Homo-oligomer: A and B are copies of this chain.
Amino acid sequence: MTHGAPRGARQALDRQPLAYLVASIRGVGQVDLQPQLLTGAFILAALWAAGWKVGLFATLGTLIATATAYLLDVDRGSISQGLQGYSGCLTGIALVTFLGNHLATYILAVVGCAVTTVLTASLAVLLKPYGLTPLTAPFCLVSGVMVLGAPSFERIWHGAPSPVANPTRGDTGITFSDLWHAFFTNVSQVFLVNSWYVGLIMLVGLAFAGVRVVLAAALGSIAGIFAAWALGAPTAQIADGIYGYNSVLVAIAVGAVFLADTPWNAGYALLGAALATGLTAAITSLFKPFHGHTFTWPFILTTWALMAAVPLLPRLRAAEAG
């Protein structure tokens, strides 16, 4: 159960610094669990389209995390597939989003993204006995700790710049405009970006990773919207992608990466996408008293739970190891 990657062509690219750049671009795509160069490039372009701060910190984060992996002599195959960069990409975005564009944030980004690489190794060791992978947990842990601890430190904290909206109560009527906005922002909110056209560019990138991947992402987004609507979540938050980005990730991970291509597996992935939506509200309420953030925990926990169960549920079948 690896993230899967084209192992060919790797040898040719294994020359620094070209290999470093390629590995980093792939790292951006690996946030969506995809190693294809074009997928990573489109998603990176989308992040710059979301604003120079998001683009810059995403780029820096991925470069720092990947460089740390070279420095600590991590397995080259894993680096070249982009598996050492994706948590840094998200950590960079989260830090500038929650702490603002200050000098201290750049320093924290260097430290934080380097630490994601260490935690990626820790979690890989801890999860190996269960056949699970770290997913974006290193990002969630590092960003969670930094955002939680930041207000205690005078040199770090400059007030909260742009808090992400939290699930609360609100109007539940839904229009067609809400629906298609939600469909695309569910894809962009994976990267903490609330913008339908950023999500659209990302979907194009995912299409380069194959029909199955983009189909899983699209169906996951729809499953998330449906579940949030059926549960009675506030429309404003559905349209902003707050309830659906975890569904997109679960659908890609379970439906297009970790499990084989069967009808039962597809149903299991869509069930997981819907569950992740429900879990989003619980996690957000759980974290509220200590000002924690939901990040991609619902995706991580849902995917770990679903995948851990597979060996005892013969109806489902894991994908061939990539």
Contacts and interface: CB of A to CB of B under 8 A. Distances in A.
A144 B71 CA distance: 38
Contact of A309 (B118, B129, B168, B313): B118
How many copies of this kind of chain does the complex include?
3
B314 A73 contact: yes
Contacts of A321: none
Given A231-B153, A232-B154, A286 B122 contact: no
Interface string A8-27: 00000000000000000000
B290 A149 contact: no
B130 A125 contact: yes
Interface residues of A, number: 64
Given A72-B313, A315-B71, A290 B281 contact: no
A160 interface: no
Nearest to A132: B126
Given A73-B315, A286-B148, A231 B155 contact: yes
Contacts of A129: 129
Contact of A279 (B71, B145, B306): B145
Contacts of A72: 313-316
B290 A125 contact: no
| Chain A residues touching B, majority SS | helix
A313 B149 contact: no
Interface string A55-99: 000000000000000011111000000000000000000000000
Contacts of A282: 144-146, 148-149
Interface in A282-322: 282, 284-292, 304-306, 308-316
A289 to B, nearest CB: 4
A4 interface: no
Which one of A75, A119, A167, A309 has the greatest number of beta carbons of chain B within 10 Å? A309
A94 to B, nearest CB: 14
A278 interface: yes
A156 B313 CA distance: 30
A163 B163 CA distance: 33
Contacts of A234: 154
A103 interface: no
A135 B103 CA distance: 36
Contacts of A289: 289-290
A305 B122 contact: yes
8 contacts: A72-B314, A121-B311, A122-B309, A124-B312, A148-B281, A148-B286, A154-B169, A285-B290
Query: Closest 8 CB pairs between A and B?
Result: A155-B232, A154-B232, A149-B282, A121-B309, A149-B281, A152-B281, A289-B289, A121-B312
